[in-house]
Every structure is written in C-alpha cells, then in structure tokens.
C-alpha cells in the first residue's frame, strides 16, 4: 500500500482539490486498494474548516467527491506514513522541511516538478488569486504523471 499526501498552506483550496482529483484518478485506475490519498496543511489556522467555496464550486463542476472533508494540519506521524508528500509551492517545502524528521525530507516534492516544462513552477494559492479554475487545470495536468510514478513504486 502506498500513501500519497498533498500539502498546501491551509488545506482548504489546492490540496483538497488535488486529493479529490487524485482519488478519482486512483479509483478510475482500479487502484484504491493499493493507494491511499490524503491532504494536509502546513498551518493550523483553517483546522476543521471545509474547502473554500471557490474550491467546492470547481470540484462540483468536475464531479469530484469532497464529502466530509475538513482541513487538517500535517502531523509527525504523517511524515512517517506518507510515501509521497506533494506540495503546491516553495514556501510549503520550506515549512515542511522545518517540521519534517531528517529521514523524511526526500519524500517532499513540488507538484509541478513532475512535468519537465514546468519544473520549479508553483501552483499559486487561489485563496489570494481567486483563480480556482486555473488551479484545477494545473493539478489536472500534473496529477496523471504523479499517478504513473506511484504505480511504478507499487
């Protein structure tokens, strides 16, 4: 069983969208019994909150399931149990590296680094930009490639 965890600042916009998209990809590939998907925040300020209304709207438009979702901050246990920790921006990486046990830093990756033409690029936080559709497009472009990587690790 492999565990994939998506991380952003508050766990109410980008990472829940990534979780919902990736869950659908995993389900469509009939791999739900081999891959678990979750998401977390680097901060605690949104703990317990549902996804941002803009994220909810986009997820509904794309028929993605986010029922019962609530924001959660990342824990030390998460660093140990996740096989892949996929972040949305470089500040997420800085924050995670401060929190992560030394032996888990290699698990932390920038989401768009999977795409050769987008290495080093960030997925901007739609909480600030209000571009939730753009966030979805970037995630929908990158996440199938991440699924290929995870499948190869099974």
- Active site annotation includes 125: yes
- Active site annotation includes 8: yes
Active-site annotation holder among 13, 89, 111, 125: 125
- Active site annotation includes 13: no
pTM: 0.98
Residue pLDDT, tens place only, 59-118: 999 999 999 999 999 999 999 999 999 999 999 999 999 999 988 989 999 999 999 999
Q: Which domain holds residue 9?
A: 2-153
CATH code of the domain in which 85 resides: 3.40.50.2300
As a residue count, the chain comes to 154
Domains held by the chain: number: 1
């Amino acid at each position: 069983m492999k565990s994939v965890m998506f991380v952003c600042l508050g766990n109410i916009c980008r990472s829940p969208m990534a979780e919902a998209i990736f869950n659908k990809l995993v389900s469509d590939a009939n791999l739900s019994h081999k891959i678990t998907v979750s998401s977390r925040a680097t901060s605690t300020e949104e703990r317990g909150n549902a996804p941002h209304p803009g994220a909810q709207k986009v997820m509904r438009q794309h028929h993605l399931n986010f029922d019962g979702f609530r924001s959660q901050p990342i824990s030390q246990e998460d660093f140990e149990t996740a096989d892949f920790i996929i972040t949305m921006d470089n500040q997420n990486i800085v924050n995670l590296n401060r929190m992560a046990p030394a032996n888990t830093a290699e698990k932390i990756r920038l989401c768009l680094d999977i795409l050769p033409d987008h290495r080093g690029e960030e997925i901007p936080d739609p909480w600030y930009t209000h571009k939730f559709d753009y966030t979805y497009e970037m995630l929908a472009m990158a996440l199938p490639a991440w699924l290929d990587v995870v499948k190869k690790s099974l």
